[in-house]
Amino acid sequence: MMYDDDQMLMLSGIQHYMYCPRQWALIHIEQQWEENRLTAEGQSLHHNVDNPAYRQKNGDVITLRAVNSASRYLGLYGVTDAIELLPSDGPADAITHPRYPGFWKPFPIEYKRGHRKPDERDEVQLAAQVICLEEMYGINIPEAALFYHETRHREAVIIDKHLHQLTHELSVAMHRTFESGSTPKAKERKDCGNCSLMDICVPELSRKTSVAYYLKKALDEETS
């Protein structure tokens, strides 16, 4: 399936969806958002990184910033933090650039505030960016990288069939959830305390037998 313009969703949301479909729906369906320290730090990092006018040349490597990208196959659009252009001998899986003669192999880089996650949510977001660029330029990009600000470390990521498939499956699930217009029920998890939407989501309700139990608890606390 190829998505139309009015069906496109934000690419950055795919990591939210993998982490917690309810969090994603609260943001992208209900349009709710709250800042906390972690989200503020992340925005500050990307403010420093995402300067589309910035072009860095280090030897033979050129770095492009804040590159717009989209995929009708995934139905996603967004911005790639940085793309390193590596010199290439020929046109195979390479692109041209109007300001720089010759052929260049794109190497996307996504910047993250913290450190490596226990799941593949960061890798999936990176893979979605790669798939966008592959579709836009008709090339294959076998490898990209994640840069973690907390550890100041770059980690290479092989964009293999597994990541391609997982990214596609998540994008399909995102579109189905969006089209349904329904926010998934809360499911409490150990790291809910780090979520800026915790007070809106109220994940502890998932532990209670009913909403009445929660309201009674709140009333008891007010009268105690």
- Provide the CATH topology of domain 5-184: Lambda Exonuclease; Chain A (3.90.320)
Delimit the domains of the chain by residue range: 5-184, 189-224
- pLDDT score of 187: 78
User: What is the residue-wise DSSP string for 85-125?
Assistant: EEEESSSTT-EEETTEEEEEEEEEEEEESS---SSSHHHHH
CA dihedral of 196, 202, 206, 207, whole degrees rounded to 10: 100
Q: How far apart are CA 9 and CA 2, in angstroms?
A: 13
> How far, in Å, are 62, 65, 84, 218 from residue 81 at the CA level?
14, 6, 10, 44
Report pTM: 0.80
- pLDDT score of 203: 57
Please, what are the averages of pLDDT over each run of 10 residues along the chain (224 residues)? 95 94 90 56 51 63 94 97 95 93 96 90 97 97 95 95 98 97 82 71 55 59 63
How many degrees, rounded to 5, is the angle at CA 112 between CA 150 and CA 57?
100
